[in-house]
Amino acid sequence: MIARSVTKTVSIDRPVAEVFAFLADPANWSKWAVVNIQSIESTDDPDWWAMSTPVGPARLRLRPDAELGVLDHDYVDDTASWRVPARVVPNGDGAEFMITFCQPPTFEDRFFDEQTALVDTELSALKEILETQA
């Protein structure tokens, strides 16, 4: 069975390498993912980061590939875990950041829609941070 999915995209007027570098550093995630990440810190395992989220503790693992613009990541908390595909691609002198969410089987449609709508706030924050740090 194929899950419902939503892909969110934001255009950022910064060089693609700068956008990728910012997003590839998990320490930056609490700066822009303001709805879902309250804090983030490195752990003894260099692949995993510990997060505080509105629903409790969680872990994040990025799997970046700068050459391909891949920023896929794994999210794990006490109730769920899933992979989230994400990409940074060139758009003229700037970049597009795309992130896709597949609806977990435990999420009802309304809850999934509410949660993915919150990502718009985060992508706006990302755009503002990157475009004003020039």
Full pLDDT tens readout for the chain, 134 residues: 898 999 999 999 999 999 999 999 999 999 999 998 999 999 999 999 999 998 899 999 999 999 999 999 999 988 778 899 999 999 999 999 999 999 988 889 998 899 899 999 999 999 999 999 86
The domain locations on the chain are 5-132
| Strand residue runs (E) in 27-119 | 39-42, 49-53, 56-65, 70-77, 81-84, 86-91, 94-102
The pair of three-digit structure tokens given for residue 65, joined into one six-digit string: 């590939």
Is there a contact between 31 and 39 (Cβ–Cβ < 8 Å)?
no
| Distance, CA of 7 to CA of 85 (rounded, Å) | 9
The pLDDT value given to residue 134: 60
Would you identify the CATH topology of the domain 5-132?
Alpha-D-Glucose-1,6-Bisphosphate; Chain A, domain 4 (3.30.530)
pTM for this predicted structure: 0.92
The pair of three-digit structure tokens given for residue 129, joined into one six-digit string: 């941070």
The pLDDT value given to residue 80: 75
The pLDDT value given to residue 55: 85
